[in-house]
Amino acid sequence: MSAFFGEHGGFILASYAAALVVISGLVARAVVEHRLRRRELERLEAKGVRRRSETAA
Amino acid sequence: MLRYANPANFLRLARVGIPLAGGLSALLFAVGLWLVFARSPADYQQGETVRIMYIHVPAAWLGMASYSLMALSALGTLVWRHPLADVSAKALAPIGAAFTLLCLVTGSLWGKPMWGTWWVWDARLTSVLVLFLMYAGIMALWNAFEDPARAGRAVAVLTLVGFVNIPIVKFSVDWWNTLHQPASVIRLDGPTIHPSMLTPLLVMAFAFTALLLALHMMGMRNEILARRIRALGLTAARGEEAAE
């Protein structure tokens, strides 16, 4: 790294690596949570559970 | 605004808005990173370490912007009783916490080679740490209640009380003598930073903002689904009780 960014290349690389970890963590969490919740919702609906507003209609 | 107060309408909006904001963010990150690493110069004093600024500063801005949006959502919960206000606030807390943590980590990684230390208890660094702790407290409070509506009201009060820290973070470098440098972009007399560095910084800031928008919509969508699951679970439990 020092060839590209001088003597402090490690600090620059570590900063961008931290950003990559945080951003990919946030995106992965949102995507996985969405899949799990959709699956749970489909499971409940397959059991015939409906919201009161839907059963009344 | 009121048109999207209905969760079903919001979910329809999110179906279009999430890929749009996500795509825009990816495009801006590609352009921004090219500007950062191929076009922007090293600083005459800080050398190459100035490149840390292009993620540290947007992360700091978004840490504060997320909290300000949470405070606006808190008003929506307490004053206007907007049905999606606490959904918005709950979705923002982990995102704001993550950006604030990124700000602290990259600040530390920038501070070590420039100041010779990872951390000092000066007003700017300490107030940002307090901001991170506020996010942690708010997330803990969300998880302390079974009923999301009750949690929403308690969190809204705490969020509004904690908002006092946002101007402290912003003006800490003006009010106190800090090791952290004063503002160089958002100033009354205009930015003091050279355009060759300001342009990549602004492109990266817009990339982070579009990412925040996409993540916020994703988080709100997930929270709406969680509340539907909770409502269906309660209906199923009541049905089983009635059958017995």
Q: What is the 3-state secondary structure (H, E, C) of chain B?
A: CHHHHCHHHHHHHHHHHHHHHHHHHHHHHHHHHHHHHHHCCCECCCEHHHHHHHHHHHHHHHHHHHHHHHHHHHHHHHHHCCCCHHHHHHHHHHHHHHHHHHHHHHHHHHHHHHHCCCCCCCHHHHHHHHHHHHHHHHHHHHHHCCCHHHHHHHHHHHHHHHCCHHHHHHHHHHHCCCCCCCCCCCCCCCCCCCHHHHHHHHHHHHHHHHHHHHHHHHHHHHHHHHHHHHHHHHHHHHHHHHHC
CA distance B115 to chain A (A): 13
The reply to whether residue B113 touches residue A14, judged by beta carbons under 8 angstroms, is no
- Is B4 a domain residue? no
CATH number, domain of B129, equals 1.20.120
Q: Is the pLDDT of residue B157 over 80?
A: yes
Q: Give the residue among B242, B236, B219, B2 at the shortest CA–CA distance from B92.
A: B219
Residue of A nearest to B239 (CA): A49
Report pLDDT digits (tens) over B171-208: 999 898 888 888 777 777 888 889 999 999 999 999 99
Residue A50's SS3 state is: coil
- Is B215 a domain residue? yes
Report pLDDT digits (tens) over B23-38: 999 999 999 999 999 9
Report pLDDT digits (tens) over B49-66: 999 999 999 999 999 999
- Is B34 a domain residue? yes
Q: Is the pLDDT of residue A1 over 60?
A: no
Which pair of structure tokens corresponds to residue B134?
């506020």
Domain count, chain B: 1
Tell me if chain A has a CB within 8 Å of the CB of B220. Answer: no
Q: Quick count: other Cβ atoms within 10 Å of Cβ A43?
A: 12
The reply to whether residue B51 touches residue A52, judged by beta carbons under 8 angstroms, is no
- Is B11 a domain residue? no
Q: How far apart are CA B67 and CA B96, in angstroms?
A: 7
CA distance B189 to chain A (A): 30
The reply to whether residue B222 touches residue A15, judged by beta carbons under 8 angstroms, is no
Domain that holds residue B224: 18-243
The reply to whether residue A8 touches residue B233, judged by beta carbons under 8 angstroms, is no
Tell me if chain A has a CB within 8 Å of the CB of B101. Answer: yes
Over pLDDT 90: what percentage of chain B? 77
Q: Give the residue among B87, B63, B73 at the shortest CA–CA distance from B165.
A: B63
- Is B90 a domain residue? yes
Report pLDDT digits (tens) over A5-41: 778 899 999 999 999 999 999 999 999 999 999 999 9
Tell me if chain A has a CB within 8 Å of the CB of B26. Answer: no
